[in-house]
Amino acid sequence: MILKTRLRRYMVPNSLRFQLLSGSLMLLAGLLIVIGFLQYIFMQGFIYQNQAKSIQSQIQSLPPDAWMMMANSGQDTTDIPKDNSNNSTDSSSLEPHRHGPFFLLQDAHIALIDQKGTFTELTNGSGDGGTSPRLAEEDYKNALQSDEHHLSYQIVNPTGENEQLIVLQTIRTKDHTQELIQVSISTKPLKNMMLHQLLVFLGVSLIALVIGILAFIPVLRKTLVPLSNMVDKVEQIDAGNLAERLPVDQGQVEIDHLANSFNGMLQRLESSFDAEIESKEQMRRFVADASHELRTPLTAIHGFLEVLLRGAVNQPDMLDRSLKSMYAESERMKKLVEDLLLLAKLDRSPNIQRKEVVLDEVIKEMAPQLRLLAGDRKVILELSSDLRGWFDVDRLKQVILNLFHNAVQHTDSEKGEIKVSLINVKGGVELSIRDNGSGISEKHLPKLFDRFYRSDSSRTRKYGGAGLGLAITKSIVELHGGTIRVDSIVDEGTAFCVWLPLTETLE
């Protein structure tokens, strides 16, 4: 019952088990058939040659004079005893007989062919009453010219039904003439023997196939265990359980490679799901932060409008303060909207207009504007000369202004010091803006370039910032193929370092 159940599992045509089992058995059966066919062909030639050698030996064992006496006696067949002592035969000992020499097969046909081509039948036919088949004269001439130790035989089918094995053997008489003895026998007994051997081989092969099926099934089942384990493991994996991994050391190279590939796919799926979750979370935070940032100036403007509607419009001082406050809030809201639009544009269409520029000259042109922004703070410029590259000048200036403005906000208005440096590094150029301000706590550094993130909310809001400047800066730097990093120590200062590639031609 257990064997029947296991066999039924292997009889599903589309299953890997069935295909491996059937394919292996078909291959084995094909090999056995080919082996049997080749064995039959080789065995046939071997048996025919063996039989021909046996007949040749029997012909050579009889003295040549005895064959001549048989031909001259006029009798169809005669049993001639052999006398090896004097290599001759006493004619008085010859007795007529209806078959060939007693040591030849009873159904053999014997004939003698002389140098003139005369064909003499030495037997009166076997049990079937037939006669010796005749070959072409060319065959007899070639056989007469061959050595007496040479084995010459043919397979002929004179009647279309009874195939014959014909052996041609030369003999040399006492007068030194070359004669030819032809012995022909039916190949039917030989074929029956070969057919019997073939049937035995086929029976043994069939038994071997059955044994092979029974022995191969457990081997196949054990071989497919790692694959079954993978199937069970994969069935446990779903969208909420992508952390599962397949075992990669199961002792089969192909299965291990498949497990590695599958684990790589799971890793990519997990990363993709995490990125999607993070993206949704970022979008949720972005909408919430943008709503909050827009709500604050709108609320302020709405409040001042209520004050004006209640009669402050008739009070010049109150009217002036309200209008100035609304203007400031509207400017703040305008800047926020512009930053949001810029970020959306950079995300949607990340194309920049590059041209060849000299970076140190760009910064020197901005020097008056930077000193104006710095106020009483000390500004130091350390610029390497003749650093050329393909950049979007306007976007690059925006990066410098954002980082410089950030340094201004976090340094003392009188003791502050801001250093702008430009140096040539391997593969590109490094722009750094350092200050001696309050610094940034280590816990804020990983999120410093996130949108709407502010390490010091109160001070940033005071200067109208919404936490988008560094996010915009990072996007512009990455569009140029560069990187940005920040190094900061609390109460000592902060350094923003931008690396940009220098390319000789526009890509």
Q: Is residue 210 part of a domain?
A: no
- Among 331, 347, 363, give the residue marking a domain's end: 347
Same domain (yes/no): 436, 365: yes
Q: Is residue 483 part of a domain?
A: yes
pLDDT of residue 496: 92
pLDDT of residue 11: 56
| In contact, 191 and 78? CB cutoff 8 Å | no
The dihedral region occupied by 278, where left means phi > 0, alpha psi between -120 and 50, and beta the remainder, is alpha
Same domain (yes/no): 366, 496: yes
Same domain (yes/no): 481, 462: yes
Q: Is residue 24 part of a domain?
A: no
| Residue 464 binned pLDDT confidence (cut-offs 50, 70, 90) | very low
User: Could you tell me which of 408, 407, 400 has the C-alpha nearest to residue 383?
Assistant: 400
Mention every residue, 6+ apart, whose C-beta is less than 8 A from residue 90.
Answer: 83
Residue 251: give its domain's CATH number. Answer: 1.10.287.130
Mention every residue, 6+ apart, whose C-beta is less than 8 A from residue 503.
Answer: 389, 390
pTM of the model: 0.44
Residue 409: give its domain's CATH number. Answer: 3.30.565.10
Q: Is residue 114 part of a domain?
A: yes
- Among 347, 363, 398, give the residue marking a domain's end: 347
**Mean pLDDT, range 188-197, rounded to an integer:** 86
Distance, in Å, from the CA atom of 419 to the CA atom of 407, rounded to the nearest integer, reads 10
Residue 84: give its domain's CATH number. Answer: 3.30.450.20
Is 80 exceeded by the pLDDT of residue 471? yes
Q: Is residue 5 part of a domain?
A: no
Distance, in Å, from the CA atom of 79 to the CA atom of 71, rounded to the nearest integer, reads 12
Is 60 exceeded by the pLDDT of residue 456? no
Q: Which residue has the higher pLDDT, 245 or 432?
A: 432
Domain that holds residue 286: 239-347
Is 90 exceeded by the pLDDT of residue 497? yes
Secondary structure (3-state) at 117: coil
Mention every residue, 6+ apart, whose C-beta is less than 8 A from residue 5.
Answer: none
Element (H, E) at 322: helix 316-348
| Residue corresponding to tokens 């493991």 | 233
pLDDT of residue 81: 37
Q: Is residue 227 part of a domain?
A: no
Same domain (yes/no): 338, 362: no
Distance, in Å, from the CA atom of 171 to the CA atom of 182, rounded to the nearest integer, reads 11
Same domain (yes/no): 248, 328: yes
Distance, in Å, from the CA atom of 146 to the CA atom of 142, rounded to the nearest integer, reads 6
Same domain (yes/no): 432, 360: yes
Let me know the angle formed at the C-alpha of 477 by 473 and 483, rounded to the nearest 5 degrees. Answer: 110
pLDDT of residue 12: 57
Same domain (yes/no): 342, 357: no
Best mean pLDDT range from 71-80, 220-229, 235-244? 220-229
Q: Which residue has the higher pLDDT, 120 or 454?
A: 120
- Among 323, 347, 371, give the residue marking a domain's end: 347
pLDDT of residue 435: 92
pLDDT of residue 105: 61
Distance, in Å, from the CA atom of 422 to the CA atom of 429, rounded to the nearest integer, reads 7
Q: Quick one: DSSP state of residue 94? A: -
Same domain (yes/no): 364, 336: no
**Mean pLDDT, range 113-118, rounded to an integer:** 83
Q: Is residue 146 part of a domain?
A: yes
Q: Is residue 73 part of a domain?
A: yes
Same domain (yes/no): 363, 492: yes
Distance, in Å, from the CA atom of 470 to the CA atom of 465, rounded to the nearest integer, reads 10
Is 60 exceeded by the pLDDT of residue 45? yes
Instruction: Return mean pLDDT, the chain.
Output: 77
Q: Give the number of domains in the chain.
A: 3
Same domain (yes/no): 286, 378: no
Same domain (yes/no): 342, 425: no
Best mean pLDDT range from 171-175, 289-293, 458-462? 171-175
User: Could you tell me which of 225, 232, 234 has the C-alpha nearest to residue 255?
Assistant: 225
Q: pLDDT digit string (tens) for 285-335?
A: 667 767 766 777 788 788 878 877 777 767 788 878 888 888 888 887 887
Same domain (yes/no): 366, 275: no
| Residue corresponding to tokens 């048989």 | 70
Q: Quick one: DSSP state of residue 160? A: S
